[in-house]
Amino acid sequence: MSHAPKTFLSTREVAELLDVNEKVVYSLIAEKGLPACKVTGKWIFPRHLTERWIESHVINYPLHGKPQPEGDPLIIAGSNDLLVERTIALFNTLFPQHLCVFGSAGSLGGIRALDRGQCHIATAHLMHSDEKEYNFAYLAEHIQGPLPVVVNFCFRQQGIMVSGGNPKHIENVRSLLRPDVVIANRPPGTGTRLLLEHELHKAGIDPARIRGFENEFPTHLAVAVEVLAARADAALGIQAAAVLLGLDFIPVRRERYDLLIAKNLFFEKPVQRFLSLLQENTFSDLAQTFAGYDIRHCGRMAFPGD
């Protein structure tokens, strides 16, 4: 008579599975993120999460013949970013058995999608009002269940994009108030729109007085194109987009851009493969092709007050 496998494993059973001493199991919990929970003083290990954890640490994964799709697509949603989009393309090239797709929904849209279970990873760069931290306050406000794991993707430069040579002599956000300046803007809920509103508030400027404030475009490249085509004189956006289109760039803020990962999906194979890609030379080489990115902390978990 066959028996169904146990749903939970004991420390001893995990040690036997991994062929290690039980003390090593405790260090794997603390140092390597081995999934576990403590019940009445004893550690127990969900079997399916333990097996996923083991699979996520496989190196030199064998591919025999034509790669076969493995499960549902890896879905990333949230803040638009050029390096994220190129990294997704790199992921799809290196791991064709998986499919990674991106939904540009803005930082708040990504967090809400994560809360609804519509994506594995959200991307966000929502600065706190004190300018000292990013994202955590918004997670506490918009996530109903367990808060996601926060992993840094990059630090990047945000600033004002203007035509080459800066013909309108724009110097800072106060210059946007001039009657001869028209801007292109990002939609509500995007981190860039919220940053612009924050900087205008600091300068004591009513956004309604800015010409073009209501002209909204979905991506950094889209607002950059408006400036390039002379349909706008300025737009807040990332340095990478400005350099790509040959625009001048006036720095405003260096910001933290994070990956927010649902805890129950953290050890899914495609999620772990995406995170492992961020440690590869192919990714760092890719990042060097864009201006304004700092990836020295890429892949590190972030905590409030770091």
Coil, strand or helix: which one is 30? helix
Report if residue 162 sits inside a domain: yes
CA 21 from centroid of its chain's CA atoms: 37
pLDDT at position 276, please? 95
Secondary structure element (H or E) that encloses residue 18, with its range: helix 11-18
Report if residue 64 sits inside a domain: no
d(CA 240, CA 242): 6
CB 110 within 8 A of CB 77: yes
Rounded to the nearest 5°, which phi and psi values hold at 127?
-75, 135
pLDDT at position 52, please? 80
37 lies in the same domain as 147: no
Report if residue 3 sits inside a domain: no
Q: Which is nearest to 255 in space by CA: 81, 125, 85?
A: 125
Report if residue 62 sits inside a domain: no
Report if residue 265 sits inside a domain: yes
37 lies in the same domain as 109: no
Report if residue 48 sits inside a domain: yes
pLDDT at position 59, please? 58
165 lies in the same domain as 251: yes
Number of alpha helices (DSSP H) and beta strands (DSSP E) in the chain: 11, 11
Residue type, 26: Y
241 lies in the same domain as 190: yes
Report if residue 147 sits inside a domain: yes
230 lies in the same domain as 249: yes
82 lies in the same domain as 211: no
142 lies in the same domain as 97: yes
Report if residue 65 sits inside a domain: no
Coil, strand or helix: which one is 200? helix
d(CA 84, CA 86): 5
pLDDT at position 62, please? 54
CATH code for the domain of 205: 3.40.190.10
User: What contacts 51, CB < 8 A, 6 or more positions away?
Assistant: none
Residue type, 166: N
94 lies in the same domain as 129: yes
pLDDT at position 3, please? 56
The domain in which residue 26 lies consists of 8-56
pTM for the model: 0.77
Residue type, 198: H
User: What contacts 62, CB < 8 A, 6 or more positions away?
Assistant: none
CB 158 within 8 A of CB 195: yes
271 lies in the same domain as 136: yes
Coil, strand or helix: which one is 258? strand
pLDDT at position 51, please? 83
CB 157 within 8 A of CB 292: yes
149 lies in the same domain as 271: yes
Our count of domains for the chain comes to: 3
150 lies in the same domain as 270: yes
17 lies in the same domain as 144: no
Q: Kindly list the averaged pLDDT for each block of 10 residues, start to end, along the chain of length 306.
A: 71 89 84 81 86 72 49 92 97 93 97 96 97 96 95 98 98 97 97 98 97 97 98 98 98 98 93 95 97 97 84
CB 179 within 8 A of CB 211: yes
pLDDT at position 61, please? 53
